[in-house]
């Protein structure tokens, strides 16, 4: 195993921390605590169990569950066993769930017992559906056994560790192929640019199926040997209680959750003086909310994190000391990321002008799973084309203007507008439809359907029609009726005009 001499895999992250600080608490979840030594041994047991099911190097394993210690162990066990972890949004059901499992070629699914019915209803050709926790013969039960088997598995850092599915302009998600090397490089960028230390005592609440919580925060903090506390769901009441009672020093939340915390009636009653590092990202933070938070907690350092799943996902950071002069900036590139802002011909734009941000980085995915044409398009000209429209200033700070792709960021979750449009078009009274995201204090961007009807139809009727076709988070928050849709000379619908028109109404 000569490649092990220079190994740099996701599994090595935990193993090295366990060797360095074996008796320190690595993870707290519910009533359970794991030291680094215990967590490392649990991962080896779980990895051996997965391999005992007949899985081979490179096989895909779907993970369909809410936050838990078992979910984390499942991810790390796949990494240690040379398997490819496929995180699935636990809100997905029906065809959307089935597509991710089938398109990834997953042969085993790790599932929370409460979600098992959603998987069984699809009749998928899975070899095994293994409960993550709270059931007999669960992965957690195996991980807590007293005997740790030897595991003779060689995993290269060029092997795939995960397929991160991300929605684009089409209705079908794409699986970004993340190698161990890409993820480990990104962890180092996070440690450096987000000032992560072993003393931070972070609280983790956002879903681990999302790359931000898992790869920007939880895994890098495990790398530095911090004590991590994990909540199953991001409940504002519980978050405020934990931050105060347990004296956590660091915390990440999507802007939607920061809005909920800032507006919470008991926000000012909790002692948050131990909190020193506050991170936000995954969508645009409303300026007034950020200003209100900074005024309420002037000693707290805020970090704006920007990127996308294909880059593992952190690309740029605006640090606390940079917020005063550039509160609306997404910052500058992190340690292992190089970026440019280019026009449609691939030429660098001048400072202050708008263009697409493109990247070169060892953090980048290898392409999209089983989608060679989409991969070639995204990685053309030797750069990864993000689809994000930004401007850049003379000192290299970027400012996000819009998404080139028609993707709506609702509550920190990306939804393809075309997917919602396709569902609405199945109603016979819909003549034309354009779906846009409108500014919203709760959702950041509220999914809004602008419909040209061709018959009598109401908002309630349309929403009821698509309710059985889309997951709940993809449902429009409102329907607006118009006589026609604005178009350019070539006939393309001008969604920017719709956003401007209805945002002002």
State the SS3 of 468-502. CCCCHHHCCCEEEECCCCCECCCCCECHHHHHHHH
Shared domain check, 174 and 118: yes
Cα–Cα nearest to 318, from 351, 297, 342, 294: 294
Q: Say how many C-beta atoms besides its own lie within 10 A of residue 295's C-beta.
A: 8
Shared domain check, 455 and 339: no
Which domain does 481 fall in, by range?
407-503
- For the four alpha carbons of 472, 254, 243 and 23, in that order, the dihedral sign comes to positive
Shared domain check, 146 and 62: yes
The total number of structural domains that make up the chain: 3
In whole angstroms, what is the distance from residue 331 CA to residue 183 CA?
21
Spatial neighbors of 245 by CB under 8 A, at least 6 apart, are none
Let me know if residue 225 belongs to a domain: no
How far is the CA of 243 from the CAs of 23, 210, 212, 278, in angstroms?
A: 24, 22, 20, 12
In whole angstroms, what is the distance from residue 385 CA to residue 378 CA?
5
Shared domain check, 445 and 340: no
Give the CATH number for residue 400: 2.30.38.10
Give the CATH number for residue 444: 3.30.300.30
Shared domain check, 137 and 74: yes
Let me know if residue 131 belongs to a domain: yes
Shared domain check, 348 and 396: yes
Out of 142, 175, 193, a domain closes at 193
Cα angle, residue 159 at apex, residues 158 and 164 outer, rounded to 5°: 110
Out of 351, 376, 404, a domain closes at 404
Shared domain check, 413 and 341: no
Pairing of strands 60-64, 108-111: parallel
Shared domain check, 481 and 334: no
Let me know if residue 298 belongs to a domain: no
Cα–Cα nearest to 184, from 24, 7, 49, 61: 7
Shared domain check, 146 and 79: yes
pTM of the model: 0.84
- Helix segments in 124-254, DSSP class H: 139-143, 180-193, 211, 219-224, 236-245
User: For the residues of 272-315, what is the DSSP string, one character each?
Assistant: -TT--EEEEESSPPPHHHHHHHHHH-TTPEEEEEEE-GGGSSEE
Shared domain check, 140 and 81: yes
Tens-of-pLDDT digits for all 505 residues of the chain?
456 788 899 999 999 999 999 999 999 999 999 999 999 999 999 999 999 999 999 999 999 999 999 999 999 999 999 999 999 999 899 998 999 999 999 999 999 999 999 999 999 999 999 999 999 999 999 999 999 999 999 999 999 999 999 854 334 789 999 999 999 999 999 999 999 999 999 999 999 999 999 999 999 999 999 999 999 999 999 999 999 999 999 999 988 788 789 888 999 899 999 999 999 987 667 677 788 888 889 999 999 999 999 999 999 999 999 999 999 899 999 999 999 999 999 999 999 998 999 999 999 999 999 999 999 999 999 999 999 888 999 999 999 876 666 678 888 887 877 778 888 988 989 888 889 999 998 888 999 999 999 889 999 999 999 998 899 999 999 999 999 888 744 345 778 789 889 986 6
In whole angstroms, what is the distance from residue 276 CA to residue 289 CA?
18
Shared domain check, 491 and 367: no
Shared domain check, 445 and 332: no
Let me know if residue 271 belongs to a domain: no
Out of 193, 224, 256, a domain closes at 193
User: For the residues of 382-424, what is the DSSP string, one character each?
Assistant: GSEEEEEEEEE-TTS-EEEEEESS-EEEETTEEEEHHHHHHHH
């Amino acid at each position: 195993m000569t490649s092990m001499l220079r190994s740099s895999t996701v599994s090595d992250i935990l193993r090295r921390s366990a060797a360095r600080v074996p008796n320190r608490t690595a993870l707290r979840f519910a009533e359970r605590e794991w030291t680094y030594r215990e967590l490392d041994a649990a991962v080896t047991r779980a990895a051996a169990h997965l391999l005992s099911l007949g899985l081979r190097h490179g096989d895909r394993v779907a993970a369909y569950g809410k936050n838990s210690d078992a979910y984390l162990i499942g991810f790390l066990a796949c990494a240690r066993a040379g398997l490819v972890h496929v995180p699935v949004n636990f809100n997905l059901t029906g065809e959307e769930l089935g597509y991710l499992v089938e398109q990834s070629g997953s042969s085993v699914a790790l599932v929370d017992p409460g979600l098992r019915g959603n998987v069984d209803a699809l009749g998928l050709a899975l070899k095994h559906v293994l409960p993550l926790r709270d059931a007999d013969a669960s992965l957690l039960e195996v991980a807590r056994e007293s005997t740790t088997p030897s595991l003779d598995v060689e995993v290269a850092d060029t092997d795939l560790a995960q397929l991160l599915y991300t929605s684009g302009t089409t209705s079908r998600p794409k699986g970004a192929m993340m190698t161990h090397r890409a993820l480990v490089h990104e962890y180092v960028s996070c440690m450096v640019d987000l000032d992560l230390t072993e003393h931070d005592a972070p609280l983790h609440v956002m879903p681990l199926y999302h790359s931000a919580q898992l790869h920007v925060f939880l895994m890098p903090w495990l790398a530095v040997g911090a004590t991590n506390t994990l909540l199953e769901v991001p409940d504002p009441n519980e978050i405020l209680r934990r931050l105060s009672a347990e004296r956590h020093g660091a915390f990440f939340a999507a802007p939607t959750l920061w809005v909920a915390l800032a507006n919470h009636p008991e926000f000012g009653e909790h002692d948050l003086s131990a909190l020193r590092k506050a991170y936000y990202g995954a969508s645009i933070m409303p300026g007034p909310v950020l200003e209100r938070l900074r005024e309420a907690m002037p000693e707290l350092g805020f970090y704006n994190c920007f990127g996308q799943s294909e880059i593992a996902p952190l690309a740029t950071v605006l640090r606390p000391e940079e917020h005063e002069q550039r509160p609306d900036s997404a910052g500058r590139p992190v340690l292992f990321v190089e970026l440019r802002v280019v026009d449609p011909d691939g030429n660098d734009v001048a400072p202050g002008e708008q263009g697409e941000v493109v990247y070169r980085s060892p953090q980048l995915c290898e392409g999209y799973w089983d989608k060679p044409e989409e991969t070639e398009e995204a990685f053309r000209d030797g750069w990864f084309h993000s689809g994000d429209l930004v401007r850049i200033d003379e000192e290299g700070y970027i400012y996000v203007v819009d998404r080139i792709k028609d993707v709506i960021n609702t509550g920190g979750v990306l939804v393809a507008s075309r997917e919602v449009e396709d569902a609405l078009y199945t109603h016979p009274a819909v003549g034309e439809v354009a779906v846009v995201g409108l500014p919203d204090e709760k959702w950041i961007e509220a999914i809004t359907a602008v419909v040209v009807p061709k018959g009598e139809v109401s908002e309630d009727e349309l929403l009821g029609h698509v309710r059985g076709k889309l997951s709940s988070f993809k449902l429009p928050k409102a329907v607006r009726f118009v006589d026609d849709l604005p178009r350019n000379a070539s006939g393309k619908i001008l969604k920017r005009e719709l956003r401007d028109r209805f945002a002002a109404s």
